[in-house]
Structures are given as structure tokens and as C-alpha cells.
Structure 1
């Protein structure tokens, strides 16, 4: 029988990803038993202390001490506290244990911001990794050697699995169930827990933030100009000239400060505004397109689909408040 370790980090944030993982794997074990097979996993919660409190002490988890587990086959890292640096300091020994177990052949799956603990080990340097889109900027600054994929729900590389965020961890758990058990068991679990399978992207759920957590005043002024002139297509050359910097220097500084080129930033600002209009107004797609400064419907649809994973009309159908009601 294989061994599954679900970590319970110090200063825990998200109890649901711990309980959810435990319940789905337990149900997969039960399903195998009901079909004459032995349970595949022994499931154990483990942490650095025997009592870990969640939600201001409303809930307490009593994990096994991780130091007593010498060998495991699969490790699940749940979400981490949003104060990432202090959380990593508190869980440094968990990181050391993760590295040790990976070297011994264990596979590791991180949920949401659990990717910060995983990345702190160096195990995903030069590898693909996903985390919640809301934590992407902080992640990039802390771990520049990791290939962050904010659009993906799941990454799978060299025995390391990562997940986008929030309740999309359920899709990662189903993915692992199919990998370790079989497709039939994964489908069964998806039906029991009513999880929509095969979700690939978290792009439709991303809310673009203005990426102004930097010290470059010129770039910040450029961002303000882009955001205040939503209806216009501002040429990057004109922006650079207006701000008295060369185009090459402007592009370099903008990319360094925001993680996007000026053109990408302008597209993201326009698409985010378009999303809000499609969600909250009665305007049709063409009206929204013109309102955010696009005259070419194909160009608008292509950019919108690339950034959200769906066409504007499909987005309106799914998220417009009046249609939802």
C-alpha cells in the first residue's frame, strides 16, 4: 500500500484544501474496496506540531509529526498563509522534509499558494508552476527562476504537480486520482463530489490588477495614461516620447516593473474593462469592443480569448448578471 501525506503547515490558512483532499482520496479508497480491491493509500495528515489552529482558533487539526514519517509516496501541500515570508520561515523544516522525500522518490502536489512552500525548496526552479492568480506578482518577485503559469489550473512536470488556486484544487485532486487509481475512479469521485472535470485554465477567473507595486515613476505614469485613455489605442512610441525616454529603454523598464510589455499591459487593461462591461451592462459585444478602443472585431475577439480562455459572447453568456439571474 502506498502512503499519502497531506501537510498541515504552521499558521495554516485553508482548511478546505486539507479536508477536501482527505475526503476525496478516502472515497477513492472506499470505491476500490467496494469493487474487491485493496485501498491504494494510507492517508496521513502531518505537520510540525500536534495542534494547528485555523480561522482564529475556530478549528484545530491534530496532525502526526512529520519527522516520524521516513518514507511517503505522494505529498499534498495545502494553501499557505498570505503573509508569505513569515509563513515560509515558520515552515522551513517542512521545506527541508519535502526536499528529502522528493529525493527518495516521492511525488509532490501543491495547492494554490502552497506553491510558495514548494518553490522555497528550489525543486521547481526552471520548471513550470501554477498558483492563484492573485498571488502571481508576489510569487514572481520571490522566485524568479520558476516558470510561473498563471493561466493553468494544473501543471505536471517531473513528479511535481501544482494547481491554480482556491477551489480549483478539486480538479488537481481528481487529476491525481486518475493518475494513481484509474479513470473510472476519477469519474466516480467527480460525480459524488459534483466536481466539473477537465478544467484546464483559471484565465476566466483572473481579475487583472494594475501591477503598480514598483518604484519606477515613469512606468507608473505610463500605466496611468493607459488606464485613463481606455477608449484610445496609445502607440508605444508616442508614450515613450511623451515621457522623454527612448523606446528601447521604455520597453525594458516597463517589462521589469510590471512583468508585461506596454502592448500587453494595454491589452490587459482593455480586456479587464470589457469583462466588467459584459458582466454588468446590457451592451452587446460590438458596443463593448468600441468602448474599450477596438475597431477590428477579429482582433478584439482574439485578444479577449487569449487572455480569458473564451470568446466575448461566451463570457457574457456565462457571467452577465441579468442572464445569470
Structure 2
């Protein structure tokens, strides 16, 4: 069994606009975990809250965490912070981020060619800013050894437990998770992800088809049918639809159908097979496979986690 014998130091960056509930929550989580570990004669985590650049120190930390940001800032002009992050990483520090905190790591040049995640709603913006990053926005947490990134605003809990596991061990993770009544693992962002059709692109024929699909997505629809609705040739329609929405017409339709199914699973007690049919899938097994691929859960599991209680 792996022994965890050395204390570790963690810096939490309270940069301008940071989500302070995450900063304080992480500090509390690490305090609870350290107490659990200490009672078993194990190591502890020393936590430092930094408000860079004013409080930047020369200390080398075992891990640095960039929590979420609530202001829309992305850190591209935070020269002192970005330089400090690069210097810390060069000393062997594990660099961690949650949600939009990944933008700071990206602008520091630490994610180039590396796998990472961020909040699913920031996927388009992140890909545009860092096209050379292997973004996996469907995952809640991506562990790439010295770079660890987590997804949504509350994913600081998942990252915190990951750090506890890394430095204090799985037994302390289990004790801490039970104390906090949180799930120590098994979640993915795609469990929560919603399809948000882009509607502000300004292409009227494409928008007309999108509105039609909203009302008729459960019916059998081909690209030829969509092109006819747009009064464009199929080739022109394909090109303009992809340019306006970022999706091929078939991929868009599949996303729309899965989103319709999500809503029915969440709000109703309609049988799963009927929900598949209402969403455009005559074959229940095909519906189940596609839903699992899109969400990471079977329709029944999704209803059990997010559905109304009868």
C-alpha cells in the first residue's frame, strides 16, 4: 500500500474576480482532510491564500489552484500572475484550475498540446483562444500529472478531493467525502451539459430551419427536407448551416432530440421508451445508446439523478 508521509503545501490564488466561495470552500475542505489524516498519524496540507501579484512570494508550492472567475475576466493581461504561474510550474509544482481558471493556465502557456477541461459553456470561447489545447469539455476533471483541470463552478469540490487523494491518500478522501456528504467520484460534465442552439448568427434561412426543427424534431427529417425549408440548394444549405451553428445538420438534429429527451426525463414520469419515440427515436435500443453516448448516463440513470420525484 502506498504510504503518504510528507506534508504538502497548496496555494489557492484569490486573484481579482475570483469565486471566493471556492477559495474559502477549498481551504475548509483541506482543513477537514488534514484533520482526518492527522488523527491517523498521516501528513497534512498547509494552505496559503494568495492575492497575486501583491502577495507573490518566492515559495515553491506542491500545488497551485486557480479557482473559478465570476467577472468574465480571462487573465490575458495579468502579466505578473502569468509569469508567476510559469515560474511555479518550472519548479515542479502541480498546476490546477477550476472552470474559467483554465484560461489563466492557457495564457501562461502551460496548456499547449495538453489535455484539459473547463466549463462546458465556455468550450467555444476556450477553443478559439487556445486551439492547440486538447480540450475535453465533456469531462469534469482531467488529470495530466502536473496539470489538473476541472470543469464547472462547483467542480472545486471534485478538484479538492483529487488534491487530497494525491497528497493524503484515498482513505482520507473517503473520510472527508463522508464528512461533507459529497460524492467522491464518478461524475462527468456531460451528465449536466445542455444543448444551447446558437440563434444569433443572422442567417435568416438557417434560423427558419432551426425554428422548424424545434417543433418537428421527433419526425423523420433528412438534410434534403431541411434544405427545402430554407429554399437553398442542399450543398449551399449544408455550408451555411455549419457556418451559422457550428454543427452539421444531422449532428444538430441529434443534439436537439437528446435535449428534448432530457427535458422529458427531468419533468415527467412518461416511460423511457415513449420518451425515445417522442424525441424522434423509433428504436428504443438506438435511443438508449445515443443518449448514453451524449450524456454518460442511460435514460433511466439520468431520470434517477435529475428527474422529478413521484
TM-score range, shorter chain: 0.7 to 0.9
Q: Of the candidates 2, 5, 12, which is equivalent to residue 6 of structure 1?
A: 12
1:223 aligns with 2:210: yes
Q: Of the candidates 120, 134, 137, which is equivalent to residue 133 of structure 1?
A: 120
Aligned match of 2:220: 233
Aligned match of 1:68: 57
Describe how 1:257-272 pairs up with structure 2 within 5 A.
Answer: 257-272=244-259
Aligned match of 2:4: none
Q: 184-193 vs 235-244, which deviates more? A: 235-244
Q: 239-248 vs 110-119, which deviates more? A: 239-248
Structure 1 contact 80–117 (Cα < 8 Å) conserved? no
Deviations along 1:56-94, one digit per CA (max 9) or x if unpaired, are: xxxxxxxxx44223422210000013423xx42563421
Regions of 4+ moved over 6 Å: none
CA separation of 1:299 and 1:74: change in aligned 2, threshold 3 A: same
Q: Of the candidates 62, 69, 75, which is equivalent to residue 80 of structure 1?
A: 69
Structure 2 contact 42–168 (Cα < 8 Å) conserved? no
Cα deviation, residue 274, structure 1: 1.2
Cα deviation, residue 276, structure 1: 1.0
In 2, Cα distance between equivalents of 1:282 and 1:164: 30
Deviations along 1:274-322, one digit per CA (max 9) or x if unpaired, are: 1111222232222222222221111111111111211222322333324
CA separation of 1:213 and 1:123: change in aligned 2, threshold 3 A: farther
TM-score normalised by structure 1 residue count: 0.83
Deviations along 1:200-258, one digit per CA (max 9) or x if unpaired, are: 31222122111335455554444333223222232124434654666566555544544
Q: Of the candidates 105, 115, 126, which is equivalent to residue 102 of structure 2?
A: 115
Aligned residues: 304
RMSD: 2.4
Structure 1 contact 4–74 (Cα < 8 Å) conserved? yes
TM-score normalised by structure 2 residue count: 0.87
Aligned match of 2:293: 306
Gaps of 5+ in 2: 1-6
Q: Counterpart of 1:156 in 2: which secondary structure?
A: strand
In 2, Cα distance between equivalents of 1:185 and 1:218: 57
